[in-house]
Amino acid sequence: MLNGFVKVAAASPSLRVADVDYNKEHIIKMMNDASSQGVKVIVFPELSLTGYTCGDLFFQKKLIESSRYALLELIEVSKGQDMITIVGYPHIHKGKLYNTAAVIFNGELLALIAKKNIPNYGDVSEARWFASAPDVNVITRVGEVETLMGAKILIEAENVPSFVLAADVCEDLWLPIPESSRHALAGATIICNLSASVEIDGKEEIRKTLVAAQSLKLIAGYIYANASPGESTTDLIFPGTQIIAENGNILRYRTFSDDQMSIAEIDVERISLLRARKNTIEIDDSDYDLITVSFDKVANAELTREISKFPFNSGNENERLERYKKMLTLQAMGLKRRVEHTRSESVVIGLSGGLDSTLALLCCVRAFDMLSRSRKDIIAISMPCFGTTARTKSNAERLANALGVTFMEIDISDSVKSHFKDIGQSLDDFSVTYENGQARERTQVLMDIANMKKGFVVGTGDLSELALGWATFNGDHMSMYGVNSSIPKTLMRFLVGYYGSISEPEVDSILKDILSTPVSPELLPAKDGVISQITEDIVGPYELHDFFLYYMVRYGFSPRKIYRLALLAFGDEYSPEIIKKWLVIFIRRFFSQQFKRNCVPDGPKVGAVSLSARGDWKMPSDAYSSIWIAEAENL
């Protein structure tokens, strides 16, 4: 459970209706198996000790008695297991029968969480047998064991920050205001639902969507365990569905499973940090009873969840393609509105033949197409200087011509030389002044032409550059509207590739060559006509920096946790030493370059992360990075 990861399981054991001993043995087998794998919470289906479809057998003393003996045996088996087990159990209290979730931990019966909403419609007649949970939690007994029973009970782990568990039963999930919503508002970060939900055509997708949506709405982990196919098939079929979700993401999903278990890790630290950002969530546990446990082994659980190398590019292929389409549209819509509002006759963009300016130009084209304006009102300017190569210069011109925009070439070499002469900068001194002088001259050209053409300058810088401060202050750092401001470099590649795939062959061919060109500001002289200044050789791999950026800014993860995730995602490509090296550099640059982000131009937020000081990221320029650096350097 290091870094907040809690290993959990949803189980659908083999079942025989009313054969309590058979059911008990299969539950015990799964308990032992889960415990041996380091699982900390295992959830079984509704009424899993007896079976859900027992009907009037629930009124038989023998069934209820056998269930009680079986539960007591499970409590005994749980001794020494550093794991919370939640199993479905029919319980009689003061002459009423309750459908409960028995919560067991290390030889103790912590609570019986009773089902609140008892369905009695369609093919379900549960109110015939069961009473609704009492409005106020009560003390009850299972044999000689005294415990708490009710619907408002939370289980908190005192040695695992943010671990607060709650449970409800089947129908409690399907209401307009589910019981799990109340649990989350009382502070629960993990919700368990013991279910016996029948399968009919189309319901499985609804069930899956409902669990994912509830976990997203609550910002919570969700463990859903459905009754197995061993239930009676007299009239109904049960699919044995297992779903583990976290904040809208399905971590594990299995259906039509019998005697199987799904395991995943829920990140309660991430849940807690996300909730802390949302000040509209008011936690009130005043009418809940809190039961505290302490795990013996707060271990570094092996993570089985997939850690993507490209967290900004999540989802399956179809989902990603839809996201690319939407993001390109949102970029263009933002620019379209800005053109309309300013009544601009043109937009001006510096086109280098590199990745950033290419995506910005594609955005301009889409915006002007939306406006039904001539693409000739888009003025793309190539400004070659000391480091410009024939490849990038050619690609810039070819792309502008293929897209039908106005293309201009203005060689700034003489202007930069004149400026260097004025300030006493040697042409042989390849210092930061040598580089930034070119970037600032380009910005001056763009601004002045925008004035001449009654337009404005469209910025090309991206989110990754803003995070690292890899931009010349008052040079390429500045524009009138930065369309790429929330697009990281790694996602940019996918967007440009997608645009090419839906374009005519000529445009696609040019974009593919641009994508294969090394990322470079081209501010140092080329060597034998080849780019000599490779950005990633200087600041590090963008795939690593974008990874660090995502988890640090979006979730507030510590360097230690980010490093652990990076090892899982990139361990086959980078050594631990290399990952650590670039993580330290990322943190240093991220803090030291905040002054550039505090005055960035307007730009649309279209992705998950933005660093605009007017929006998502507010930080003083003189904040110290020492505690982050100390942790990263000691990894």
Catalytic residue numbers read: 46, 115, 170
Strands 96-105 and 108-114: antiparallel
d(CA 191, CA 526): 59
CA angle (92, 93, 99) in 5-degree steps: 50
CB-based contact 129:118 (threshold 8 Å): no
Strands 455-459 and 406-409: unpaired
Q: Which of 539, 491, 545 is nearest to 515 (CA)?
A: 491
d(CA 346, CA 373): 10
Residue 225's DSSP bridge partners are 194, 242
d(CA 186, CA 579): 39
Handedness of CA 266, 272, 277, 278 (dihedral sign): positive
H/E element, 206: helix 203-218
CB-based contact 381:449 (threshold 8 Å): yes
Strands 289-293 and 41-43: unpaired
Phi first, then psi, for residue 514 (nearest 5°) are -65, -40
Residues in the chain: 635
DSSP state of 455: E
d(CA 82, CA 381): 66
Q: Which two tokens stand for residue 587?
A: 């943190």
